[in-house]
Structure 1
Amino acid sequence: MSHGPGIMARVTPSDVPAPFRVLAVCTGNVCRSPAVERLLAARLGAPYRRPAGPGGARRGLLPAVEVASAGTGAVSGAPMTDRMASLLLEHGCDPTGFVARQVTPGMLRGTDLVLALTAQHRSAVIRLEPGAAVRTFTVRELARLLLDLDPADLPGAGATTADRLRAVVPLAAARRRAVPPRPEDDDVIDPYLGTDAQYRTAFAQLAPAVLEIAGAARR
């Protein structure tokens, strides 16, 4: 639509592209998936959860990417565990204000990429919302599938992080059909109620995967 000199076109909500939404899923949503949420958001420069004002209304411009998390058996309303919060702080991420929540079919239908922490979580997501299968990976599986991805297969100059993430999902899904599964390498251990060493092991398993995914999106 053209407008006369000096007349500014009005931008309506339908004119603004929806954010690319990422959802991390574990069991209780108090340690592993919150760590993926906050670490990935920090590396992508994206907000975590959906920014909202009074009454749930959005504030300001829509972000290009949103990162959130939920649990298949969430300790709903609980904060992140202190041990995982400490590990995030060590790595320069903000753990504050986190509240656990239960994953729902509606969340999954509105998500562009689901990052499960284990193969069992991936299966639980697909049982809950079968249509999410093609866009659901374990976080370590997706990182493995992206290891030798040719940057030329992703959008180039002028592309946003959201554009690259949108391209990553079908590319990884196609590669998954050709690359033998390695379930023993794709799960992140559950450190809940465990030792400091178990928390550090879990973080050491998920963090490199998150960094690989963020790196592919920002190439």
Structure 2
Amino acid sequence: MTIQVLTVCSGNICRSPMAEQLLRARLSDDDKLAFSSAGTVALSGAPMDERAAQLATEHGSVDAEQQIARELSLEMVRDADLILAMARDHRRAIVEALPRAVRKTFTIREFARIVSSLNVDELTLAMEQAGTDASARFEAAIQLAAGERGMFPSDEPSDDDVVDPYRRDDATYRTSTDQLIPAVNATAEFLGRVLKADSEH
């Protein structure tokens, strides 16, 4: 069974496609994961923003030119095993659309902060207790992260957001990317650890 990771922003032409592409690039060796993205107010059918695509390519994307924006649907939210929003308003919109998605929906910077602080032994135990099914073990890891959400608050609520660079200056695009890259790297490291532990089970 393929584990579905969905990234979400507003227009689906800057932040969420960059996150999707860079996570895919960093975890390209594992066929258990599938990455996709969508926008809450997507510019459906539009290609990726040119400056965002250039920055994504600089940081490891190999498929920025293939990106096509699409509108977030309830079906996407239901089907995803992990949803990484680019900002708190996207997370809020997702949970309002499907309240039970709260346990698998984070902003990407929030998720990175939480999983970077998780106890490795607790993570291993949670996965072992979930049994042998790969999707159940992945869900257990995500639920452990959700349960720790209040334990690792950000200094400022806005620290959970990746700033929207769309139609802004080059410096804002760089700032947005600089906020996103560490979160992508921490998320990729965590997902890789979870899948490695699963393959060794």
User: TM-score, length-normalised on structure 2?
Assistant: 0.85
How far apart are 1:32 and its partner, in Å? 0.3
What amino acid is the match of 2:36?
A: A
Tell me if 1:112 matches 2:85: no
8 A contact 1:146–1:172 mirrored in 2:
yes
Question: In structure 1, what is the equivalent of residue 15 of structure 2?
Answer: 32
Give the one of 157, 181, 185 matched to 2:159: 185
Unaligned runs of 5+ in 1: 1-17, 48-62
How far apart are 1:154 and its partner, in Å? 3.2
User: TM-score, length-normalised on structure 1?
Assistant: 0.78
Change (3 A) 1:91 1:134: same
Tell me if 1:174 matches 2:142: no
How far apart are 1:177 and its partner, in Å? 3.4
How far apart are 1:86 and its partner, in Å? 0.5
Give the one of 53, 77, 82 matched to 2:45: 77
User: For 1:193-212, what aligned pairs fall within 5 Å after superposition?
Assistant: 193-212=167-186
- Note the alpha carbon deviations across 1:28-76, whole angstroms, 9 max, x for none: 00000000000011111169xxxxxxxxxxxxxxx31101000000000
Unaligned runs of 5+ in 2: 194-201
How far apart are 1:91 and its partner, in Å? 1.4
What amino acid is the match of 1:65?
A: L
What amino acid is the match of 1:115?
A: L
How far apart are 1:127 and its partner, in Å? 1.3
Report the 3-state secondary structure (helix = DSSP H, G, I; strand = E; otherwise coil) of the residue aligned with 2:148: helix
8 A contact 1:27–1:71 mirrored in 2:
yes
How many residue pairs are counted as aligned between the two chains?
A: 186
Question: In structure 1, what is the equivalent of residue 101 of structure 2?
Answer: 132
Compute the RMSD of aligned alpha carbons.
2.3
8 A contact 1:25–1:70 mirrored in 2:
yes
Identity of aligned residues (%): 44
Change (3 A) 1:205 1:163: farther
Name whichever structure is richer in helix by fraction: 2
Distance 1:180 1:33 in 2: 23
Distance 1:103 1:46 in 2: 27
Q: Which is worse superposed, 181-190 or 65-74?
A: 181-190
8 A contact 1:46–1:65 mirrored in 2:
no
8 A contact 1:76–1:100 mirrored in 2:
yes
8 A contact 1:36–1:210 mirrored in 2:
yes
- Note the alpha carbon deviations across 1:76-106, whole angstroms, 9 max, x for none: 0000011011111111211121100000101
Question: In structure 2, what is the equivalent of residue 93 of structure 1?
Answer: 61
8 A contact 2:123–2:144 mirrored in 1:
no
How far apart are 1:216 and its partner, in Å? 1.4
Give the one of 60, 69, 92 matched to 1:123: 92
How far apart are 1:163 and its partner, in Å? 7.6
